[in-house]
Amino acid sequence: MIRLKKALALTLVATMCLTAFTGCGNDSKGDPNTPNSNEQNNNGTDSGEKTPDEKIPDEKQEFTFSSASAVLGLNPMINTTAPDNGAHELILETLVADVADENGNSMIKAAAAESWDISEDGTVYTFKIRENSVWNDGVPVTANDFVYTFKMMATPKTGSTNAWLFDGVIKNFNEALYSDGNPEDIGVKAIDEKTVEFTLVKPYSYFLDLLTGAKPVRQDKYEEWGDSYGSSFDKVVMNGPFVIESWSQNVQMTLVKNEKYWDADNVKLQKINRKVIQDTATSVQALLAGEIDVINTNDPDWQKVINDDGRFKQIITPGNAPEFLGFNCNNKYFKNSKIRLAFSLAIDREKLNSDVNNDQCTPLYSLMPSVTNVGDELYSERVDGKNDIVKTLQDKYPDPKALLIEGLKEEGLDPDPSKMEVRYATRGTTEFSKKLAEWLLQTWEETLGVRITIDMMEWNIMWDKVNAGDYDISTAGWGPYYNDPNALLQIYDPVDGYFNSSKSGWTGKDADKYHELLVQASNETDNQKRAELFLQAEELLVGTGVIVPTFVFNSNTFLANYVEGYYITPHSATDYTNIYTSGK
């Protein structure tokens, strides 16, 4: 087995019981704003090796957690928000897994592939798929499963929401996805039934991390079920360590160990229950009653209740998934950078953290959380803290309202801010989403004189509106697929980012320059130069107010003392094949 270690950018915060939960998830495209959300990406497999202090597992192995959001679909091509990804990681296994290890490090480990080779120039990856890797119906996992998956991702009509990850990475992928190229020509091919080869455009040190964003589908079933693929648990084939036994969408998903999984003998859990509990108080009571085994809450009052009980470990993890607001730059107001900046600079992020987040988060003045690396050094250190762009602008423009009025005049609009008609789309209907929206409304009214209208909507509805360009301001967040500024900056690439110009409305000279800088950084091998290019890009994205970074959640997880093998880092998934209970 090939193992690659990646040192954490920041040592995990000291915890009460010296254990380690991944924050609000590696994928924040869902709604990480709910304090009791325990959604995360769960990859990987278990080596089966026992540590000297490993405890005796209980005879009955069952683990239960809750999430505020329901899983909407099981099609990994199009269902890629946090709730969906959390389920996919349990039932679908790609070639490698990016998981947390027992030492608090991120680790790439073999999954469906037992080994791989990388060419000397770093552009060709060859994976050997395990002989005993099979789908839950007993059909062997083959190289064609991955070839077909990537060809489908590169086919525009598929609408793969993760396809952008491989644009400019896999040979001819960009051409197939955006330029009428042929998906048959992409750099993914089967050498034989159990060997798959990827040819990259150039070396990408984080290519293995990217693979976790491409869960496989099997051609015969994907074509048989068509649009209904993943709509129910009997319309998906699974090759992961667990399979779905039942699924009541807004209530509970129950998974059981996949006895056909190649490493089933070393998977200890027999059953996993994923409950949907939106109310924090209800989830805490469920934890105290032994109905669930872990929760994530940033509410200090509930934290005290749980800690006073004494049966739980508190695990504090720094976040890597920034929260931000996005403007529709096609809007008659927000096409002006001064107007956008006025809305950004009006936000007192420290006060926001205190009033809304109970001081449980870290305010953001850059898109990059503090744990973001460029190579083996922190991004913020490489650029000498110059990435705190919002702070610099707040010093430069101490009166955001004056900046707003100036922008309105430039656009030939009524300079009275109270006459503006602006709608703010929430990402969820939870109490937290409502509290955040109302706080922003009050802040903008007091500081700018603007009255905004709050549109409360579920997160999937909000994303549909963003995709259609039907919004003024939206709540957003993103969990990077790998630890590098590019993982966050790339999402706003006007050409091929997730929030491309058709969604963000961002076009023109600055947008073109932004794209050029990302291309330059992609071709640069010197990490210091890469960091400087990323800073220039961030100065365009954040510095002109295309987005408004607000805060990053620091995860407070409470885990029952009887749960073992539950490891966490900010950058990787929890490996559920390691988890077991002892003394429950």
Per-residue pLDDT tens for 518-574?
Answer: 999 988 889 999 999 999 999 999 999 999 999 999 989 999 999 999 998 888 889
Tally the residues of the chain.
584
CB-based burial label for 327 (10 Å; 0-12, 13-18, 19+): buried
- Residue 42, pLDDT > 50, answer no
CA atoms within 13 A on the CB side of 423: 13
Q: What is the mean pLDDT of residues 282-303?
A: 95
Kindly indicate the confidence band of residue 33, based on its pLDDT and cuts at 50, 70 and 90. Answer: very low
The reported pLDDT for the residue numbered 570 is: 87
**What whole-number distance in Å separates Cα of residue 37 and Cα of residue 69?**
8
- Residue 28, pLDDT > 60, answer no
**What whole-number distance in Å separates Cα of residue 440 and Cα of residue 436?**
6
- Residue 39, pLDDT > 50, answer no
E strand residue ranges, 84-173: 96-100, 106-110, 113-118, 124-129
Angle 400-410/431-448 helices, nearest 10 degrees? 80
pLDDT above 90 as % of the chain? 78
Kindly indicate the confidence band of residue 6, based on its pLDDT and cuts at 50, 70 and 90. Answer: very low
- Residue 163, pLDDT > 60, answer yes
Residue of 86, 88, 81 lying closest to 31 (CA atoms): 81
Quick check: 209 and 98 in contact, CB under 8 A?
yes
Kindly indicate the confidence band of residue 53, based on its pLDDT and cuts at 50, 70 and 90. Answer: low
Choose the most confident range, by mean pLDDT, from 11-15, 32-36, 346-350: 346-350
Kindly indicate the confidence band of residue 103, based on its pLDDT and cuts at 50, 70 and 90. Answer: confident
- Residue 40, pLDDT > 80, answer no
Q: For the chain, what is the mean pLDDT?
A: 89
- Residue 38, pLDDT > 50, answer no
DSSP 3-state of 275: strand
| Residue 85: its H or E element | helix 82-91
| Residue with token string 């950078």 | 337
**Neighbour order of strands in the sheet with 422-425:** 361-363, 547-553, 322-327, 473-477, 422-425, 452-455
Distances (CA, A) of 313 to 20, 307, 568: 9, 8, 13
Determine phi and psi for 98, rounding to 5 degrees: -105, 105
Tokens describing residue 28: 């924040």
Encode 410-467 in three state secondary structure.
HCCCCCCHHHCCEEEECCECCHHHHHHHHHHHHHHHHHHCCCEEEECECHHHHHHHHH
- Residue 490, pLDDT > 60, answer yes
Kindly indicate the confidence band of residue 487, based on its pLDDT and cuts at 50, 70 and 90. Answer: very high
pLDDT above 70 as % of the chain? 91
The reported pLDDT for the residue numbered 459 is: 83
Q: What dihedral do alpha carbons 89, 91, 96, 101 form, nearest 10°?
A: 60
**What whole-number distance in Å separates Cα of residue 75 and Cα of residue 232?**
9
Least confident of 100-114, 156-170, 326-340: 100-114
Quick check: 284 and 306 in contact, CB under 8 A?
yes
Residue of 232, 275, 230, 272 lying closest to 251 (CA atoms): 275
**What whole-number distance in Å separates Cα of residue 100 and Cα of residue 102?**
7
The reported pLDDT for the residue numbered 82 is: 83
- Residue 35, pLDDT > 60, answer no
Tokens describing residue 54: 């490993």
Residue of 104, 190, 112 lying closest to 568 (CA atoms): 104
